[in-house]
Structure 1
Amino acid sequence: MTENNQYLVFKLDKEAYGINIKEIYEVLRLKEILITEIPNVPKYVEGIINLRGNVIPLINLRAKLKLEKNIINKKNRVIIVNLKGKKVGILVDKILKIFNFHNCKMFSSCREIKCKYNYIKGLYKKQNYQIFILNINNLFDIK
């Protein structure tokens, strides 16, 4: 069995990040959804959204990664991901494309890419992009 090396690549600030497409349920335009704010939640929680009758938390990935907050605009997208059997929406700046990394080397250990965070699986370099591959299950504390 071969591993799926297709990743949805998106931008946050000036960096590119990727999530394996097997972990993605769907991608939504921000203008298509209504965000309901919730009091007393961490700053990275934008609120909740109603997706066809399902209430889903919406996480601002910029805020979660402690990047400079930006003004939300029409380029923003919401990626609905499956985390430990639950759906969670993550807000990103913009979608770049789906990359297939079958012929690329992933720098996979944190020592190789000098990271101290367990939510980064590795780093791919392709074309003009340096793409951090996220381990979304380690990024969020979902029970």
Structure 2
Amino acid sequence: MSSVQFIIFELEQQQYGIEIDFVNGINKLKDFKISSIPNCPDFIEGIINLRGKVIPLYNLRKRFKFQDSTIRKDDEILIAIVNDIMIGLILDEVIDIVRIEDTDIEPTSALFSTNIVNNFISSIAKKDAQMIIILNVEKILTVKEQDLIAPLIQNKETEAVNT
């Protein structure tokens, strides 16, 4: 029997998980100044400078189309690496790091028709009495969004080096 380790976080009173292999760090939102980027999708809040790297910030509340999409001062940023692009995911708070047995994870295709389930939800995990929605972090960004954000990050990093 094998298991996978996940970072568990909360968003609008629901627990979500991302495989730990995609996570590069966790930070407090209040520790950063967010710079806006014009002409970006509304769920991209802007960019931050994290130890000399330009990181785009994704508001998961907006990405998931939650009614209240306001970011809060006490929100956290989970830094993830998606297809070689480092991004920040704004969420309520990181709860835990847990190991979940494969037998406690069900693919969403077994639970729902693929027309209903969003592309970035890969499975549902059961841990104790809790249901955890496991995200496919590689699909949070579409290819079009990756192509849009990559030049912006490179341009900002070049400006930071040249100043």
Normalised to the residue count of structure 2, the TM-score between the two structures is 0.79
Instruction: Provide the residue aligned with 1:66 in structure 2.
Output: 65
How many angstroms apart in 1 are the aligned matches of 2:37 and 2:80?
Answer: 20
How many angstroms apart in 2 are the aligned matches of 1:95 and 1:128?
Answer: 18
Offset of 1:104 from its aligned partner? 4.6
Instruction: Provide the residue aligned with 2:97 in structure 1.
Output: 98
Seen in structure 2, the aligned counterparts of structure 1 residues 129 and 52 have a Cα distance that, compared at 3 Å, is same
Instruction: Provide the residue aligned with 2:53 in structure 1.
Output: 54
Letter paired with 1:91: I
Highest CA radius of gyration, 1 or 2? 2
Q: Determine helix, strand or coil for the equivalent of 1:22.
A: helix
Q: Deviations over 1:20-46 (max 9, x none)?
A: 010001111112111111222111011
Q: Determine helix, strand or coil for the equivalent of 1:110.
A: helix
| 2:4/2:102 contact within 8 Å kept | no
How many angstroms apart in 2 are the aligned matches of 1:4 and 1:138?
Answer: 22
- Higher helix proportion: 2
Q: Please state if 1:8 is matched with 2:17.
A: no
Task: Give the alignment's Cα RMSD to 1 decimal.
Answer: 1.9
- List gaps (5 residues or longer) in structure 1: none
How many angstroms apart in 2 are the aligned matches of 1:26 and 1:11?
Answer: 16
Percent identity between matched residues is 30
Q: Deviations over 1:54-94 (max 9, x none)?
A: 111100011001012134131x1101101111101110011
Seen in structure 2, the aligned counterparts of structure 1 residues 4 and 28 have a Cα distance that, compared at 3 Å, is farther
